[in-house]
Structure 1
Amino acid sequence: MASGSAIAEKIEQGVRARLHACARRPFVVGLCGAQGSGKSTVAAALKALLERDGLSCAILSIDDLYRTKAERQRLATEVHPLLATRGVPGTHDIALGEALFDALARGDAVTLPRFDKAIDDRLPVSDWERLAEPPAVLIFEGWLVGARPQSAAALASPVNALERAEDADGAWRRHANAQLAGPYQQLFARIDYLALLAAPDFAVVEGWRLEQEHELHARRGAGMSDEQVRRFVQHYERLTRHILAEMPAYADMTIALDVDRAIHAGDIRA
């Protein structure tokens, strides 16, 4: 994706301006963007740019920190049924993420966890990516990377049909928000530079996610139906809207995207 390379170049400029002033290693670049916004493509292009100039670099997706299917089923039984579905804060293994960041800070060899969305479960450790030594730069990408919690008042009213029908009392969204306010903030405090790929609006995000699923169908012959995707995306809607409204005020760089995932009329704020 040509636009992915152009976006990566802009982020690289911002990272390089900050990198040499930070003694902590690895230097952690947070890359936030809604589902289907091209995060993986941008992250890969950014990694290539940094490595071209001699900086070792690795990529970790917050998706690879998802709890196992069995762990999420237990949460669904003990806390709320909607926690069986990966996505919101509370469905990631933040302790695993913190242990990984601690090991990198110590200079230890580590293995980066990997999650397979096709089977909705974490891969065995034998399939994780091993790093012999910490990279100079770690790109930490994900749909909620760097997000901050909502106010209690913002949680009062449901934002979509899923919340109205399956979280009428707000217990699910309050649990997710409490997780985001606590353990997730400790993990996100490791970020040295935060870049946001800002979708035009949430309606576009749903279309992007449908495209992703159609591509998965084409590659693997399996995946969710369009109706299942639309329901799935509703799990992400509340926080995605919140991120788009709030994160531009504190991200180090915000890149506004158009519907084709290209930079919207050169709209970059840093």
Structure 2
Amino acid sequence: MRSSPAAKCPIVSSEAILADAIERALARPRKRPLVIGLCGAQGSGKSTVAAALAGRFADTVVLSLDDLYKTHDARAALARDVHPLFATRGVPGTHDVDLGLATFAGLDGGHATPLPRFDKARDDRVDPAAWPVAPARPALVIFEGWCVGAAPQDAAALVAPVNALERERDPDGVWRRHANAALAGAYQWLFARIDWLAMLRAPSWDRVLGWRLEQEQALRASGARGAGVMSDAEVTTFVSHYERLTRHILDDMPGYADLVLQLDDMRGCVAVRGTDPTTDGGMR
């Protein structure tokens, strides 16, 4: 395996670095689509980068983990039967992993495949009749999401709460243990389809929270109204659902991701470390 130490990249964009790696990987013959996993915390720009890459490469499909959320009714049942915090989408356990596996099976099988869509404004899945259909035999699939490729935590790490949400609403750890068990189980089957995992690594958890606050402040400044528009306090509570696993990913994923792009406070790439995707060591 050829790997490179962290190198400064203050000018080249994350998109350009990923595009170069993808181009080289696509040059190798394949019997099924190349699946790039793109992991990045909230606000890191992963959806923007994924869309830009899709514009660069023909026959590309973008699949977001956010589009695999369980229906509102299914999450309501999970909240009733397991823990009330599962009413809020986001953590492992709130996604329909079987739907994701079926989607990849269709893409791998060379079929025209419906791509799931989730409407965050309604907090529910879009009617399948309205899903876009991916053409048969795409060359590239970009699978993006905030915890795509994440590994579970050790049991000992789950004991102490990481924030007020966990202290006050999950004092016995039922919610976080169930989410971690889900991540250790079926999610790993889904992530096993990733050929090459790239990480957009935020500088810190505090910066992730700051990015999310900036997004909501911009939304309020635009004049947007409605139940989906949150105050700063509401944003902090909402993002607290993601804090535990986000902190873990920031610490853990650089040790096994194929490519790590270190971001600064403005989302610029300031260092890169990873393996060459044209070698067997750089592919899963």
Q: Shorter-chain TM-score: what band?
A: over 0.9
Larger relative helix fraction: 1
**Structure 1 residues 73 and 240, CA gap change in structure 2 (3 angstroms):** same
Match of 1:31?
Answer: 38
Match for residue 268 of structure 1?
272
User: 2 CA distance for matches of 1:229 and 1:128?
Assistant: 29
Shift, 1:5, TM fit: 8.3
- Residues 95-154 of structure 1 deviation map (CA, whole Å, 9 limit, x = unaligned): 000011111111111111111212211111132111231311010000000000000011
The correspondence for 2:129, drawn from 126, 130, 151, is 126
Preserved contact between residue 4 and residue 41 of structure 1 (Cα < 8 Å): no
- State yes or no: 1:190 paired with 2:193: yes
Is 1:81 equivalent to 2:88 in the alignment? Answer: no
Structure 2 match to 1:246: 252
2:279 matched to which residue of 1? none
1:7 and 2:14 equivalent?
yes
Which digits, 9 at most, give the CA deviation of each residue in 1:196-242, with x for residues without a partner? Answer: 00000000101111222234443743312211110010000000000
Which letter does structure 2 place at the counterpart of 1:166?
R
In the other structure, the counterpart of 2:182 is: 179
* Amino acid paired to 2:239: V
Identity of aligned residues (%): 56
For residue 48 of structure 2, what is the aligned residue in structure 1? 41
Amino acid at match of 1:31: L
In structure 2, runs of 5+ residues without a counterpart are: 1-9, 275-284
Aligned partners of 2:12 and 2:269 also within 8 Å: no
1:113 aligns with 2:119: no
Q: Which of 26, 35, 38 is residue 19 of structure 1 equivalent to?
A: 26
Matches of residues 193-212 of structure 1 in structure 2 within 5 Å?
A: 193-212=196-215
Q: Which amino acid letter does the alignment assign opposite residue 64 of structure 2?
A: S
Question: Structure 2 CA distance, aligned partners of 1:219 and 1:175?
Answer: 39
Task: Identify if the C-alpha distance between structure 1 residues 104 and 168 changes in structure 2 by more than 3 Å, giving closer, same or farther.
Answer: same
8 Å Cα contact 1:5/1:45 also seen in 2: no
How far does the alpha carbon of each residue in 1:47-77 deviate from its partner, in whole angstroms, 9 at most, with x for none?
A: 12223xxxx1010100000111111111000
Question: Structure 1 residues 4, 65: closer, same or farther in 2, change over 3 A?
Answer: farther
| TM-score normalised by L of structure 2 | 0.88
CA contact (8 A) 1:5 1:46 kept: no
The residue identity in structure 1 corresponding to 2:40 is G
Contact 2:198-2:260 at 8 Å conserved across structures: yes
What does residue 138 of structure 1 align with? 141
SS at match of 1:141: strand
Closer, same or farther: CA 149–141 of 1 in aligned 2, 3 Å: same
* Length, aligned pairs only: 262
Structure 1 unaligned segments of length 5 or more: list them.
none
Higher relative contact order (CA 8 A, sep 6+): 2
